[in-house]
Amino acid sequence: MKTFAPKSSQITRSWHLIDAKDAVLGRLATHAASLLMGKSKTSFSRHLDMADHVVVINASSVKVTGRKETQKLYRRHSGYPGGMTVFPLSYVRQHHPDRIIIHAISGMLPKNKLQDRLLKHLHIYPGSEHPYVKHFKQA
């Protein structure tokens, strides 16, 4: 039996809406990463971009367990000596709530050339308003 390798014209991309309101960050990120990789598709191939579009709404109200709200730190470095900047989760939630979810999901995607292409199919919005309403009216 020959191995089936889908052509780019045979790959269908569907749209998924995930509401992050009161959802635990890790569980939400696991579900979104699985959809982005296309793991639920019967024609799944690791080396191909099989990503479905994932729209995450209410990103600013995602839940974290334990004391992560004050203890979890996001680090950024400028490249210069002493250029480390550290932000707690509470600060990032106020100023850039989408980065919390992007950081969690990108940590669950493969670290190769596909990662940036898969993340382009991820759309995150802090509130419930998003411009992709027409893709979800079909249901």
Structure confidence at residue 132 as a pLDDT band (50, 70, 90): very high
Confidence check: pLDDT of 84 > 90? yes
pLDDT digits (tens, 9 = 90+) for 27-72: 999 999 999 999 988 888 888 898 899 999 999 999 999 999 999 9
Confidence check: pLDDT of 95 > 70? yes
Of 47 and 126, more confident: 126
How far is residue 1 from each of residues 4, 39, 46, 128, measured CA to CA in Å?
9, 22, 19, 47
Domains of the chain, by residue range, sit at 13-64+97-128
Contact indicator for 122, 98 with CB cutoff of 8 Å: no
Phi-psi region of 25 (alpha: psi -120 to 50; beta: other; left: phi over 0): alpha
- Indicate the pTM of the whole model: 0.90
Token pair for residue 6?
Answer: 């889908």
Dist. CA 41–CA 52, nearest whole Å: 10
Q: Dihedral sign, CA of 30, 119, 135, 98?
A: positive
Give me the CATH topology for the region 13-64+97-128: Ribosomal Protein L13p; Chain: A; (3.90.1180)
The single-letter code of the amino acid at 35 is L
pLDDT digits (tens, 9 = 90+) for 100-116: 999 999 999 999 999 99
Residues β-bridged to residue 84? 77
Contacts of 93 (CB under 8 A, 6+ apart): 60, 69, 100
Decide: helix, strand or coil at residue 32: helix
Q: What is the pLDDT of residue 11?
A: 86
Contact indicator for 54, 18 with CB cutoff of 8 Å: yes
Q: What is the pLDDT of residue 43?
A: 85
Q: What is the pLDDT of residue 138?
A: 56
Percent of the chain with pLDDT over 90: 80
Token pair for residue 30?
Answer: 């696991």
Mean pLDDT of 124-133: 96
Length of the chain: 139
Q: What is the pLDDT of residue 18?
A: 97
